[in-house]
Structure 1
Amino acid sequence: MKTLITLKIEKFEEKGQEYFVATSDQIQGLVAEGNTIEEVIDIVSDLAKILIELK
């Protein structure tokens, strides 16, 4: 079963390096960081499954 969640993805830059952080109001504790948007989405996919199972 697939569940759609809404993500808020923000772009940050620190010391010349950019990175992205994703959060969701729908899943408490969901915070993922990656170097690209694609990487963040991959991490969120795995993390969301774990957090949903822990509920």
Structure 2
Amino acid sequence: MAEHIVNLHVERLPEGCYLATSDEVPGLVAQGRTLAETLEIARDVAKRLMEAQVERGDVRGVSPLEERFDHPLVVSA
């Protein structure tokens, strides 16, 4: 399977955990105790949902990975 870029919306909930969703992959919802855990769960969920999309022949909204792209970097100081 090819690599793709999936844009996530991540928010920190009042309980202190993180929630990730995506407009590009319907059904993608991931929650974790840390940002790293949430992103790991989101990656797994996105992969499974995208595999299901491919099986159904529906791959709209997912961008293939390009040679260059922007990526936010979270740094604790």
For normalisation by structure 1, the TM-score amounts to 0.88
Identity of aligned residues (%): 38
Cross-structure match for 2:7: 6
**Post-superposition offset of 1:5:** 0.8
Match of 2:39 among 22, 38, 41: 41
Q: If each structure's helix is expressed as a fraction of its own residues, which one has the higher value?
A: 1
Structure 2: where are the runs of 5+ without partners? 54-77
**Post-superposition offset of 1:13:** 1.7
The structure number with the bigger radius of gyration is: 2
Q: If each structure's strand is expressed as a fraction of its own residues, which one has the higher value?
A: 1
2:12 maps to a residue whose letter is K
Structure 1: where are the runs of 5+ without partners? none
Displaced runs of 4+ in structure 1, greater than 4 A? none
1:22 is paired with a residue whose SS is strand
Q: Does the alignment pair 1:50 with 2:39? A: no
Count of residue correspondences: 52
1:23-53 deviation line (CA, Å, top 9, x unaligned): 0000000000001110011001111110001
